[in-house]
Amino acid sequence: MTAGEKALPKPSPAPSALPTADDSWGELRFVNVSVSVDVPIVGLTVRELFRLEKGSIVFSAQQSGANAPVKIGETVLAWGEFNVMDAALALRVVELA
């Protein structure tokens, strides 16, 4: 893969291949949700925020290798650690909440 190419996202499993531990959820099992991962940035001033530009590096209070909370809204679902896979940043789930 060259520097200008982007890897395609891995396809999601077909709905029939998903676990069916509790079919009472019905079609809700297939609703897309936004998931976020919190990485704390502390000590950044408004002045520094306004000076950010492409290529700026912002340091995090997150320790390398430390687990980050995986959330839907304010609800923590899991804890994960960041990994680099090929040229992409990925999150490995290491603990379920």
Residue 23 included in any domain: no
Sign of CA dihedral 40, 45, 50, 51: negative
pLDDT band per the 50, 70, 90 thresholds, residue 53: very high
Q: Confirm whether 77 is domain-assigned.
A: yes
Task: Tell whether 92 is covered by a domain.
Answer: yes
| pTM flag (> 0.75) | no
Mean pLDDT of all residues belonging to the chain: 82
Domain interval for residue 51: 37-96
- Residue 71 neighbours by CB under 8 Å, 6+ apart: 35, 36, 37, 38, 77
Residue 63 lies in a domain: yes
- Based on the structure, what is the number of domains in the chain? 1
pLDDT digits 0-9 by tens, 6-38: 665 665 555 555 555 566 778 888 899 999 998
CATH of the domain at 88: 2.30.330.10
